[in-house]
């Protein structure tokens, strides 16, 4: 005999199986991201003064991304509400916005990441530190790359301010963060290989700051991607199940929506903690 699917809530708990399952899973995810947040706090508190960069993340872009994710959160619940009211066509329309928002979020995140991978910091042997771009905007160079490519010097476009200098965010106008892209880079300077103690892009190995930043946001982005795939699958191929087992389909939309809201919840905390504080 086949084990039948159950969609009706159990009378004494008032819940159906999949809802219990997803909430339990979300509880475990709270612990997962919670551990990373705890690590963030510990690493930040333990870092000495100028080893914790500030103002390196683009706030307007981050704010926009937040709005995108919040929008997708409301569309995902409105899509479920449409199904509850029996309106499959409206569900498809609204849910497509969710998927577009998800893709938008991931796209913007990729742009942010790329911006980091082409942004460099040089520690010179005399103790000076400079941030900026390398001529040609290569990705992922580090000290070993210089030796592997047998370079005698690096053509470097330095930023006006290093992030460790006096708080640039209070000097800059809104929307132009200290270490972002600016029109008209200062002229390139040549830094001899012999002067360079360490070269690193803004990659996880740069510092614990970027390590935890990339880990938190990449893990979050993976969850966004996973959720988007599931929501897309149900959106694209759901009409058959809607016709044959509508309650089961509606429950699937609710459950995937709950996961999506959780992803939004994590970002609601990630954004201020990483970008603003």
- Window 189-228: residues binding another protein (CB under 8 A): 200, 203-208, 211-212, 215, 219
CB-neighbour burial class of residue 138 (10 A; exposed 0-12, middle 13-18, buried 19+) = middle
CB of 186 to another protein, least distance (A): 26
Residue 234 tokens read as 């149900």
Can residue 1 be called a binding residue for another protein (CB under 8 A)?
A: yes
Per-residue interface string for the shown chain with another protein, residues 229-258, x marking contact by CB under 8 A = ---------------xx-xx--------xx
Alpha carbons 52 and 207: distance in angstroms, whole number: 8
In terms of CB distance, is 82 or 118 closer to another protein?
82
Alpha carbons 116 and 109: distance in angstroms, whole number: 11
Which of these ranges, 77-85, 130-138, 157-165, 229-237, lies near another protein under the rule CB under 8 A?
77-85
Which of these ranges, 69-77, 95-103, 107-115, 227-235, lies near another protein under the rule CB under 8 A?
69-77
In terms of CB distance, is 185 or 245 closer to another protein?
245
| Residue that the structure tokens 């029996």 belong to | 86
In terms of CB distance, is 36 or 188 closer to another protein?
36
| Residue that the structure tokens 């577009």 belong to | 100
In terms of CB distance, is 68 or 191 closer to another protein?
68
Which residues 134-163 are close enough to bind another protein by CB under 8 A? 143
CB of 54 to another protein, least distance (A): 11
| Residue that the structure tokens 């390139």 belong to | 188
Q: How many residues bind another protein (CB under 8 A)?
A: 91
Which residues 36-55 are close enough to bind another protein by CB under 8 A? 36-39, 41-43, 45-49, 51
What DSSP string describes 122-180? EEETTS-EEEEEETT--SS-BHHHHHHTT-SEEEEEE-SS-TTSS-GGGTSPTT--TTS
Which residues 89-118 are close enough to bind another protein by CB under 8 A? none
Closest-CA residue to 18 (of 251, 237, 263, 234):
251
CB of 160 to another protein, least distance (A): 20
Q: 190, 156 in Cβ contact below 8 A?
A: yes
Closest-CA residue to 119 (of 31, 28, 191, 57):
57
CB of 211 to another protein, least distance (A): 4
């Amino acid at each position: 005999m086949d084990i039948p699917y159950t969609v009706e809530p159990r009378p004494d708990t008032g819940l159906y199986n999949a809802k219990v399952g997803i909430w339990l899973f979300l509880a475990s995810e709270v612990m997962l991201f919670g551990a990373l947040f705890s690590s963030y706090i510990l690493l930040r508190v333990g870092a000495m003064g100028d080893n914790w960069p500030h103002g390196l993340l683009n706030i307007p872009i981050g704010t926009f991304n937040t709005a995108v994710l919040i929008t997708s959160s409301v569309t995902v619940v409105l899509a479920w509400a449409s199904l509850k009211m029996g309106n499959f066509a409206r569900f498809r329309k609204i849910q497509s916005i969710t998927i577009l928002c998800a893709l938008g979020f991931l796209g913007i995140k990729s742009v942010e990441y790329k911006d980091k991978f082409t942004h460099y910091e040089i520690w010179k042997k005399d103790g000076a530190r400079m941030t900026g771009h390398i001529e040609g905007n290569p990705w992922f160079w580090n000290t070993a790359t210089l030796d592997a490519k047998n370079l005698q010097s690096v053509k470097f476009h330095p930023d006006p301010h290093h992030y460790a200098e006096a708080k640039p965010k209070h000097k800059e106008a809104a929307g132009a963060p200290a270490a972002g892209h600016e029109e008209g880079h200062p002229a390139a300077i040549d830094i001899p290989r012999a002067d360079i103690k360490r070269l690193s892009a803004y990659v996880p190995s740069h510092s614990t700051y970027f390590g935890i930043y990339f880990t938190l946001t990449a893990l979050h982005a993976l969850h966004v991607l996973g959720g988007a795939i599931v929501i897309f699958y149900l959106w694209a191929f759901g009409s058959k199940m809607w016709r044959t087992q509508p309650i089961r389909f509606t429950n699937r939309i609710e459950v995937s929506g709950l996961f999506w809201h959780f992803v939004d919840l994590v970002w609601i905390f990630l954004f201020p903690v990483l970008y603003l504080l």
